[in-house]
Structure 1
C-alpha cells in the first residue's frame, strides 16, 4: 500500500523562506526608526572592533523582529 501524500507530506527544505527574507538593512522594508538605531549600533561596534551589545526586539507578531535579528 502506498502512503497518502496528504497524511505524510514530503519535508520541504528549511531554507525555503530564506529567499524571501532581506539580507541587509537596506533591503528591509519598514521600521525606519529601529533600522536607523540598529545601523548606529552596528557601525559603532565595528569602529570599536568589538561585538555588538545585546539587543532586545519586542512587539506583536508580524513586525519583522526575527528578520531584523537575522540580518
Structure 2
C-alpha cells in the first residue's frame, strides 16, 4: 500500500500537532545554542520578577537553529499565548495592525522570516 500525502501551502491540523509534539518544551530540553538559551533564560526570569512582558527580541540565524522552538519555550516559560505569523504574510500596515489588536496583554508575537517583511509595513 502506498502512503499518499497531499501537498498544500498550509499545514494541516495533524501536521501542526506533530510539529508541536516534537518541539522542546523547556530551556532544559533545548539542545544546542547554550549561550543563547542561557541569556534568554535570564531575560525571561527578569521579566517574570518585574511582572512585565518581555521586551522586543530578535532571534536571527539560518533555518533550523531553533528560533521558532525558542519562541515557543519563551511563551511557555512566561505563561502566555504565542501567535505566529511570517513576514511575507504581512503585506500592508493594516495586516500588522490587525494582528497586534488581536493580541491579549502579555501575548508573544513571533514573526518568522521577518527579513521578508515589506518595507512599507
Shorter-chain TM band: 0.7 to 0.9
**Regions of 4+ moved over 3 Å:** none
Q: What's the C-alpha RMSD, in Å, of the aligned pairs?
A: 1.8
More strand by share: 2
Match of 2:25 in 1: 23
Shift of 1:55: 0.9
Spell out the pairing of 1:44-59 with structure 2 (5 A cutoff): 44-59=46-61
Shift of 1:37: 0.4
Pick the aligned partner of 1:61 from 29, 51, 63: 63
What is the distance in 2 between the residues matched to 1:21 and 1:31?
15
Higher relative contact order (Cα pairs below 8 Å, separated by 6+ residues): 1
What is the distance in 1 between the residues matched to 2:43 and 2:13?
36
Q: Secondary structure at the match of 2:55?
A: coil
Go from structure 1 to structure 2 and tell me whether the alpha carbon gap of 1:12 and 1:52 turns closer, same or farther (over 3 Å shift).
closer
Structure of higher CA gyration radius: 1
Q: Structure 1: give runs of 5+ residues left out of the alignment.
A: none
What is the distance in 1 between the residues matched to 2:49 and 2:56?
17
TM-score (norm 2): 0.49
Shift of 1:12: 5.6
TM-score (norm 1): 0.80
